[in-house]
Every structure is written in structure tokens, then in C-alpha cells.
Chains A and B, each alone.
Chain A
């Protein structure tokens, strides 16, 4: 069976590795499927570890902001294993499905939520040459896939047959419809400057100036666009002060009210994965992606193909993304939750026009200079 595998062969470091070590005569589709399996395994592990670390970090950050310690005992050093213990607890808990719930939809909803965010994460490069999928429309793909979580959330809210859940789901739908526009418009500003939707290429194009040729420094309208993007991303990932779909003080847990055990934790994992994804997008399209003075130095010293450079670049991106997550946590424990009408006002009356102004200004600036 000879399938044209140009797309696969072009893309993937896992595929290349397998092709190098596999015995001769193994058909390409087997290699491609194995590579995909390895990629999925790595991605799932990565997201689980990331979610566990982020939950621990969130509890530490919130604790210290409130002059507490947060988890301190599990695992010894500052409760590092707390999330692990919680995960085991959630796995062993009973998986409750309410009697009045729409069973198939109820069970499908967390899967859709998680699958869409996994799909979006496949377009994320790990290092300049290690990535799951090198998509030319990477950013478009990410936005499309991450918006699909809304379908899962609305499905969860509707299938739960609970008023709280339905309210939460409707709020999520309204919020995402309102904030998808400024999110996309704010991302148009760096796109106007860099001229590619491919995440890897966008990062590559920002090298120069000793690794400080970041998009925020290239055009005066990119920085306000970053603020707009960050705000819209907060709403998009259902983080406080825009966590109206959950709104634990008014809606119990919003669309997650009727969920328990590991299904509930899927929603949680999605939230942290979405935060990470948005932070990565912000890092790549605003804050230089892999580029930093350290990355520049590593490339100068060891060459672009050396594993040291690759590891440095990946670490720099991870650091930038973690900083974004930290900022989101900091904001969460600073600002109180806003009302739904305030959310709508902010989305439609403030973020959208301001994003349009930024797009216009960036376009004019690019045309002149």
C-alpha cells in the first residue's frame, strides 16, 4: 500500500526517528500510525503533568497571596505530590450520572472538551524541530479547535438536567461568542507584522537583535493587542475574573455541577491545558516564541541542529508560557468576578472596537514603515 505520505514525511521528528531505526520493508503507513501514537502518548502525558503542576502552582500562588502556605505535606517538599494524590482520589471516586441526565451526551461532553484541546495542542511546537504537526494554518487551527470546547461545555450543561449547569453552559456560550471576536482581532495585529500563521515560522521570523526581535518591539500596536489578547484569552479559558460559567459562589460549579470523579477532573485538565495553550500562543505571536538572548547564544555557540539549542529553545518557550499562566493566576486572585452584563459590555463595547483600532493602526504602521 503506497499512500502519498508527503504531509507526514515533511512534518514530524517522531516519524523521522522511527524511519531511521525501523527495519526495511515496513510500510510507511505503519510508521506514520506509530509516530502518531507516540505523539499522542507524549501529548497526553505532557498535558497531565502540566495540569498537575499547574493545579499545585495555583494552590501555592493563591495560598501565598492570602498569606497561607497552600499544600505542605503530601510528598514531603512543599506538598509537591498533592495533585498526584488528588488525581488518584478522583480516579477512585464513584462516577455519578444523574438519573435525569442525558446519558450519552453527559458521558461524551468531557471527552469532546478534552479532545478539542488536545487537538489544538498538536499544532504547538515543542522545540524548533520537535513538533507534533507542522501546520501552515497553525494559529487558525488552534483557534478553531479550542473554540470547540464550548460545544462540550454546552453539551455538559444541557445533558446534566440541572439549572446550575444550564446557566453555566449558556454563560459560557455567550461569553465565547463575545470574546472570540476580540481574540481573533487582537491576534491579527502580530499576524500583520509577521505574516505567517505557522507557529514555528512565526518564532523563526523573530530571531535577530540578539534574540530580542520580538513582535511587541516591532510595532507599537502589538503591545496593546497583547493586553487585549490576554484579556480575551482569560474569558476564553473561563478564568477569573471571567469564570462565570463556573461561578462557584452563585452556580455551585456551573456546567460541572453534576460531574464527579475523573470526568470532573477532565474539565479541570482542559482549563489548565487551555491556559497553557493561550500562553503559548501569546508567547509565540507576541513575545518572541523560542527567541531570547539565551536561545540566540545557544544557536551561535552550538548551531541550530544541536540538541542543546533545541532544549534551550523549548525551555525558553515553556518558561514564557509558565509566566503567562502565573499572570493568569495572579489576576485570578486579585480581581473579583464580574457580572455577566459587565462581561458582555467589556467584550462587545471595549475589546472589539479597541482591537479593531489596533488592527487599523498596525496596518497603517506597516504600510508606512
Chain B
């Protein structure tokens, strides 16, 4: 008797469990996919993301603090001083070595080297990974827009603080173009 019961239970069980499974997959079938179609749409990158560096060349004083702080010596810079003026020759960062630890950012006395938000860095030639930061090549247009936005927000925040007003954070503007 139990054998018959087991047999019928198996039939019933296989039917119902299949239906349960189909209900679950059917639910996912109708739901919107969570895929982000990457090159066409991108997730917002946080401001403190450690991507490819950018350098504010006019602030930099060629003090080598970042190069010394770098644990793997991937920063090299060269400049000639004419009185108060600096003539830049090179400021290179070798991304074959760089591990994006951000240790070069903290010791900077002028706060002029930053980590950007650009991360896609592909090349067919190794020499291209030695990046010239002077030409601002390291930063995509998007990152520059973000940087500008962040600076404006910072200024507004400080102004509001000085005036003693509550500051309302505006949502970050989406960049229109991609680098």
C-alpha cells in the first residue's frame, strides 16, 4: 500500500514542484533585467573612487612628495625652476606598476594630485601605460565634469557653512558625454 502511495505521491510531487519552479522562473522572465548595458549606460561612480590620476599642474611645486610616498616607485617627475616659475618637462605615472593605493594623494602639500573616476584603460602597446599626467590625458571628459561639479558643491557647502545656513546637497549631475 505504501508503495502505491509513494508512487502516486511521486507523480503528484513531480508535477507540483515543476509548477513551483516554473512560477519562479516565470516571475523572473517578466521582471526587468538587471543588466547594465555597459558602454551605453554606466552606473554612477562614487566621488572617492580610486581610478586613473589627474594632476592640477599649475598648483604642483615639483616637491616629489608623491613620488617618495609611492610604494612601488611608479611616479617620475622632472621640472626646471626659473625663479618662481616652473618649467615642466615630464610627470609620468606608470600604470603597469600602479596599484591605485592612493598613498600619493595624502602627502601632497598643495593638494594637487587626485584619483579620478576613469577606470577603463586598455592599450595594445605597453608604452602607452606610462601616462603623461601633464597633458591631463589621464582624465576623461566625464571625470573632469565630475571634478568641476564636486568643486562647485564644495564651494557652495563652505559658503553655506560660513553664512550659517543649512546646505542641501544637490544630486550629482549626469555627464552628457562619455570620454
Contact = CB atoms under 8 A, between A and B. Distances in A.
Q: Do A and B come from one complex?
A: yes
Contacts of A61: 29
Interface string A59-78: 00101111111001000000
Interface in A286-328: none
B19 to A, nearest CB: 10
B28 interface: yes
A226 to B, nearest CB: 13
Contacts of A46: none
A64 B28 contact: yes
Contact of B22 (A72, A227, A334, A350): A334
Contacts of A69: 33, 35, 37
Nearest to B30: A64
A63 B29 CA distance: 8
B15 to A, nearest CB: 8
Given A67-B34, A68-B33, A334 B25 contact: yes
B21 A67 contact: no
A236 B30 CA distance: 29
A72 B33 CA distance: 12
Given A67-B28, A350-B10, A335 B33 contact: no
A333 interface: yes
Interface residues of A, number: 17
Given A68-B33, A334-B18, A335-B18, 13 more contacts: A64-B29, A64-B30, A64-B33, A67-B28, A67-B31, A69-B33, A69-B37, A330-B25, A330-B26, A331-B18, A334-B22, A350-B7, A350-B11
Question: Which of B24, B33, B34 has the most chain A CB atoms inside 10 A of its CB?
Answer: B33
A354 B26 CA distance: 28
Which 10 residue pairs are nearest across A and B when measured between Cβ atoms? Answer: A334-B21, A334-B25, A65-B25, A67-B34, A67-B33, A65-B29, A64-B29, A69-B33, A68-B35, A334-B22
B20 to A, nearest CB: 9
Interface in A30-74: 61, 63-69, 72
Contacts of A68: 33, 35
Interface of A: 61, 63-69, 72, 227, 330-331, 333-335, 350, 354
A229 to B, nearest CB: 15
A65 B26 CA distance: 7
A67 B33 CA distance: 4
Contacts, number: 40
A344 to B, nearest CB: 15
B16 to A, nearest CB: 12
Contacts of A65: 25, 28-29
Question: Which of A65, A350, A354 has the most chain B CB atoms inside 10 A of its CB?
Answer: A65
B21 A335 contact: yes
Nearest to B40: A72
A354 B21 CA distance: 23
Contacts of B29: 61, 64-65, 330
A63 B31 CA distance: 11
A335 B7 CA distance: 21
Nearest to B28: A65
16 contacts: A61-B29, A63-B33, A64-B33, A67-B34, A69-B35, A69-B37, A227-B15, A330-B22, A331-B22, A334-B18, A334-B22, A334-B24, A334-B25, A335-B18, A350-B11, A354-B11
A235 to B, nearest CB: 14
A215 to B, nearest CB: 21
